[in-house]
Amino acid sequence: MAAAEHDSVPQRLDDPAHVVRREPVRRSPEHAEPSRFLPHVQGLRAIAVLLVVLYHFWPGRLPGGYVGVDVFFVISGFLITGHLMRELTATGTVRLGQFWARRARRLLPASLLVLLVCALVAASPYLMPVSGLQREISEILASTFYVENWYLAFTSADYLNHAGDPSMVQHYWSLSLEEQFYVLWPLIMLFAAWAGVRWFGGRTRRVILITLAVVSAASLVFCIVFTLTDPAPAYFVTFGRMWEFGLGAMLALVPALRIRNAVGSFLLGWAGILALVYTAFRFDASTPFPGYSALLPALGAAAVIAASNSERWWYPTRLLAVPPMRFTGDISYSLYLWHWPLIVIAPSVPFWGLTIYHRVALLLLCFVLAWLTKRFVEDPFRGWKVLTARPAKVSLWASLVAMVLVAGTAGGAWALNAPAYREGVEQLAELRESPPECFGAASVLDPSCGGERVSTAILPSPGFAGVDKPADEQCFVQLNGAEPVVCEVGSDAADAPTVALIGDSHAFQLLPTFQRIAQENGWRLVTYVKGACPWSATPLSTPGAFGDACTQWREAVTADLVADPPDVVFTAAIATTPYASAGFASSYDAAVAGYREAWSTMTAAGVPVVTVVDNPVWETDPNKCLRTRDVAACDGARAEVLVAEDPLREAAEGQDLVTLLDFTDVFCDEDSCFPVVGNANVYRDQDHLTVTFADTLAPAYTAALREAMGR
């Protein structure tokens, strides 16, 4: 490393840090060859960041906007490989210390500033739920040291599944992956260059090209296979994304790939832009991604970069270079950093809503913060003479100190709130063991309680409702999984009645409650639950791997049930599931028919089915409101949060051996629906019940199951 900090002449051809024998070069390698600034690439940055930002603000309008990250990876591969190759050609080596120091001065100041703000926000129980403190601090630490992508991979996070409550810094996964690329890529190129000098007669450029092509091809194969077998972690794993950097690298190393011909450049550039637009609007959470699907946006980005001719104003290279696009590209890094924390924090700010006006105002604020950060943080630190005039190790040590300070602030946030966190854990455990009288649904359903929903307390607290959820995640099949996972609890006696719990996440939310019911009644419980895949015979309208996986899972579940019928089936489903309407008058009719057909596989064999009308679905987690406002201020209009026509209700009407439970009058009155009922906090997020509240419905579930089984 020390040798790489000086403009010295390579002295050994077998040293991978010095690969080409040349005369001393007095110019800094940073300026060894004039940089090749391409204005349209800066405009492509703008497209990339706008895709991601708009996707996060309006995921329903731009469901495939997440591909903007892949565009960034291709751009980085193109620019960094070109820079490293120019330095290798001009000086015979890459001064790793200088390279990494420049990257640190360019990226860390803005990144650490945003992380510092997030650490301070995490310390405030008014802006962040205490229940999420442990996760927030863990991810801030992972992001500070650029391993967030691995943290998410190991914790099985599903980036494209919008359920739950993601952290303020989840978007740092891509920055972490890119930093790892900055470490690995020059090492790979140096090794290839050394091999070219030692074994291939000095053909360093050709060996580098072949090496990067092989690495990229292996990465692509790994990415496709891993996405098919384990899609959630595949989204974050570093080697699964290296091929996208490699694609950009090929453009940098093979000049013939950059098209100067006017017609060819025009067609190629617009084809690339159309590919990005198509993926932004046609891809969604069900698309198997990254995998082979990532080829389309990555190749689209590469096509835009390769389109080099800018003779006419209507060429994409010229349109992407207009001032607004250049400006957005200039602030793209800071815009990416700021937008996601603001989206997560904003709904918890008093008097801030989620109307279109609030979202637009927040988007404008993101641009203002990004410009201020670019102007007063990014640019000054990049050229700060205190660092640039000194050896590279000064910048690297200063970066490490800054990272430790941010990590220390995050640790302080944990220390400040740890007592409240422990108190919340203890309160939740006590609440599940011995709930108060007339608590939750009992306040409405139990005649002795007077039928009043009056709430003077909130249990669990709004800051802790997010963790009041089922713990048996191994029983839950994720989005692209097609193989049923069967979990069994309760009695193992041969004559014990068997209850099957089947459905999507709205069935999974009842798992702890049904486990307790089974244990208390001496029943055997078997579960079949899969995300966003209710038990129905009608295909989802969602195309691709997710829709296919849901169909396969249903068929396998039905086969299991027919082979070994339970004594009763309980099924639940979110009312807004999108069903394919082919052959029916509407998606609603298709849903009704699909439920009836699926249930008939059991009722025809004499097995009763119990189902339940879906609970209200809120636009955002009601706990964000409850943390800062009075309970009454957080009520939702019934017409807005409750689906007027739940297909489960109509599917159950008039069907033999089908029992319908309807708790709408527990959740709502004639005008409003309530986030707190009988002092019980109803929701852990925007549409899933807390286990605490679901437990208060246990007497009604038990009675319905007993009646269905005739016991």
pLDDT of res. 570: 98
pLDDT digits (tens, 9 = 90+) for 102-150: 999 999 999 999 999 999 999 988 888 888 888 899 999 999 999 999 9
Same domain, 231 and 365: yes
What secondary structure letter does DSSP report for 200?
S
Q: What range does the domain containing 510 cover?
A: 470-617+639-668+699-709
Residue 695 is encoded by which pair of tokens? 């437990």
3-state secondary structure 450-482: CCCCCCCCCECCCCCHHHCCCCCHHHEECCCCC
Q: Is the dihedral of CA 97, 101, 103, 104 positive or negative?
A: positive
pLDDT digits (tens, 9 = 90+) for 187-224: 999 999 999 888 988 889 999 999 999 999 999 999 99
pLDDT band for position 705 (50/70/90)? very high
pLDDT of res. 365: 96
- From 663, 670, 673, select the one nearest 694 (Cα to Cα): 663
Same domain, 155 and 288: yes
From residue 709, how far is each of 523, 531, 568, 606 by CA, in Å?
12, 28, 6, 10
| Residue bearing the bigger pLDDT, 547 or 160 | 547
Percent of the chain residues topping a pLDDT of 90: 68
pLDDT of res. 473: 86
From residue 561, how far is each of 235, 317, 493, 557 by CA, in Å?
34, 59, 19, 6
What is the average per-residue pLDDT within 630-657? 94
**Cα–Cα distance, 579 to 533 (Å, whole number):** 10
From residue 271, how far is each of 47, 75, 264 by CA, in Å?
15, 17, 10
What is the average per-residue pLDDT within 440-459? 85
Bridge partners of 526?
488, 500
Same domain, 486 and 565: yes
**Cα–Cα distance, 441 to 453 (Å, whole number):** 8
Same domain, 318 and 184: yes
Is pLDDT above 70 for 2? no
Domain boundary among 398, 414, 430: 414
Residue 660 in domain = yes
**Cα–Cα distance, 64 to 650 (Å, whole number):** 34
Same domain, 337 and 228: yes
pLDDT digits (tens, 9 = 90+) for 299-321: 999 999 999 887 887 888 889 99
Same domain, 232 and 94: yes
Q: Give the residue carrying structure tokens 């193989």.
A: 483
Phi, psi of 611 (to 5 degrees): -135, 175
The residue type of 530 is K
pLDDT of res. 515: 97
Q: Give the residue carrying structure tokens 């990416």.
A: 336
Least confident of 272-276, 297-301, 426-430: 426-430
Residue 617 is encoded by which pair of tokens? 């679905």
- From 289, 190, 187, 203, select the one nearest 241 (Cα to Cα): 289
Bridge partners of 668?
673
Residue 548 is encoded by which pair of tokens? 């296919």
Residue 260 in domain = yes
Same domain, 545 and 645: yes
Residue 4 in domain = no
**Cα–Cα distance, 237 to 252 (Å, whole number):** 24
pLDDT of res. 350: 67
- From 227, 111, 63, select the one nearest 158 (Cα to Cα): 227
What is the average per-residue pLDDT within 424-435? 84
pLDDT band for position 183 (50/70/90)? very high
Q: What is the CA radius of gyration of the chain?
A: 29
The region, left, alpha or beta by phi > 0 then psi within -120 to 50, assigned to residue 51 is alpha
pLDDT of res. 14: 36
Same domain, 227 and 124: yes
Least confident of 150-154, 195-199, 448-452: 448-452
Same domain, 84 and 233: yes
Is pLDDT above 80 for 10? no
Q: What's the CATH code of the domain at 704?
A: 3.40.50.1110
Residue 24 in domain = no
Is pLDDT above 80 for 13? no
Alpha helices by DSSP H, listed for 353-467, are: 356-373, 379-382, 385-388, 392-433, 442-445
Domain boundary among 414, 449, 480: 414
pTM value?
0.78
Residue 419 in domain = no
pLDDT of res. 102: 94
Residue 311 in domain = yes
| Residue bearing the bigger pLDDT, 447 or 25 | 447
Is pLDDT above 60 for 20? no
Average pLDDT of the chain is 89
Contact 273, 300 (CB under 8 A): yes
Is pLDDT above 50 for 23? no
What is the average per-residue pLDDT within 584-596? 96
pLDDT band for position 19 (50/70/90)? very low
Domain boundary among 376, 393, 414: 414
Contact 460, 431 (CB under 8 A): yes
pLDDT of res. 456: 76
The strand pair at 568-572 and 524-530 is best described as: unpaired
pLDDT of res. 536: 97
What is the average per-residue pLDDT within 79-87? 94
pLDDT digits (tens, 9 = 90+) for 328-341: 999 999 999 999 99
**Cα–Cα distance, 53 to 294 (Å, whole number):** 19
Which of 300-314, 378-392, 512-526, 545-559 shows the highest mean pLDDT?
512-526
Residue 644 in domain = yes
pLDDT band for position 478 (50/70/90)? confident
Same domain, 474 and 408: no
Phi, psi of 612 (to 5 degrees): -145, 140
**Cα–Cα distance, 182 to 187 (Å, whole number):** 9
Residue 89 is encoded by which pair of tokens? 């050609």
Q: How many CB atoms lie within 10 A of CB 369?
A: 20
| 677 SS3 class | strand
Same domain, 236 and 118: yes
From residue 516, how far is each of 164, 490, 510 by CA, in Å?
24, 8, 10
Q: How many domains does the chain have?
A: 2
Q: How many CB atoms lie within 10 A of CB 349?
A: 15
Same domain, 398 and 506: no
Least confident of 204-208, 396-400, 408-412, 460-464: 460-464
Is pLDDT above 70 for 9? no
pLDDT band for position 287 (50/70/90)? confident
Residue 238 is encoded by which pair of tokens? 């570093």
Residue 593 in domain = yes
From residue 233, how far is each of 38, 485, 588 by CA, in Å?
34, 19, 34
pLDDT of res. 165: 66
**Cα–Cα distance, 709 to 114 (Å, whole number):** 57
